Amino acid sequence: MAAATGETQPAKHQEVGHKSLLQSDALYQYILETSVYPREPQPMKELREVTAKHPWNLMTTSADEGQFLNLLLKLINAKNTMEIGVYTGYSLLSTALALPEDGKILALDINRENYEIGLPIIEKAGVAHKIDFREGPALPLLDQMVEDEKCHGSFDFIFVDADKDNYLNYHKRLIDLVKIGGVIGYDNTLWNGSLVAPPDAPLRKYVRYYRDFVLELNKALAVDPRVEICQLPVGDGITLCRRIS
């Protein structure tokens, strides 16, 4: 809508749940319409549209990040993966479609009801057999896995998009579970662009609350000698950690 001055305002993103940090909405829309949507598998499009109707749709992985994860998993030839934080399963479906027929995903989330929104689409896509969904907090299960030597180094890729106040707790455990050469991806590591906001900036309560936890994670990953890292401004920021020791 035009401002009172008569100036035309930039068109906003049509993508529901969009988290792009690009300054130009038009440029982000261009990326979606030129490179993402034409290549988006039909099941992912269907799940994206279903999720857009959910009141918590801002929690979903953006379409461009879903495309990025799908290609990344193929590039590293991932077979055994884990996802912490599932929501309706858009990133989960992206992963499942990228894995070979005998690939596996251990999917952890505290809310099965949200997962079941996307489950019929996942089943129709023919990849539900790759998913082992567990409802409940992730940390107790991770602790059990860390105690089991057979689980050490057993995962090719792990994607974390869950409670930001536990990201460092997850990292302390996941570093043992991902294989050397494997990758952990932490989502939302640029956290709405709030990390460089001045102290008196008007931030939403949840953004302000989790901001310090994300800052703490980023500082810890930057000096962790066990991983190589790359922080990318895809979606709301994703940091890839490749385990080297």
Query: Could you give the maximum distance between any two Cα atoms of the chain, in Å?
Result: 66
pLDDT above 70 coverage of the chain, percent: 92
Does the pLDDT of residue 16 top 50, yes or no? no
Q: Is residue 157 domain-resident?
A: yes
Q: Is residue 73 domain-resident?
A: yes
Q: Is residue 59 domain-resident?
A: yes
Cα separation, 40 vs 129, whole angstroms: 21
What pLDDT is attached to residue 107?
98
Domains held by the chain: number: 1
pLDDT digits (tens, 9 = 90+) for 36-84: 999 999 999 999 999 999 999 888 999 999 999 999 999 999 999 999 9
Cα separation, 62 vs 76, whole angstroms: 21
> For residue 45, what is the domain's CATH number?
3.40.50.150
Q: Is residue 136 domain-resident?
A: yes
Q: Is residue 74 domain-resident?
A: yes
DSSP state of 192: G
Cα separation, 90 vs 113, whole angstroms: 14
Q: Is residue 228 domain-resident?
A: yes
Q: 17 near 59, Cβ under 8 Å?
A: yes
**Which structural domain range is residue 155 located in?**
25-243
pLDDT digits (tens, 9 = 90+) for 215-241: 999 999 999 999 999 999 999 999 999
36: closest CA among 75, 77, 70, 12?
70
pLDDT digits (tens, 9 = 90+) for 107-144: 999 999 999 999 999 999 999 999 999 999 999 999 99
What pLDDT is attached to residue 19?
60
Q: HSE of 77 in the Cβ direction (CA atoms, 13 Å)?
A: 2
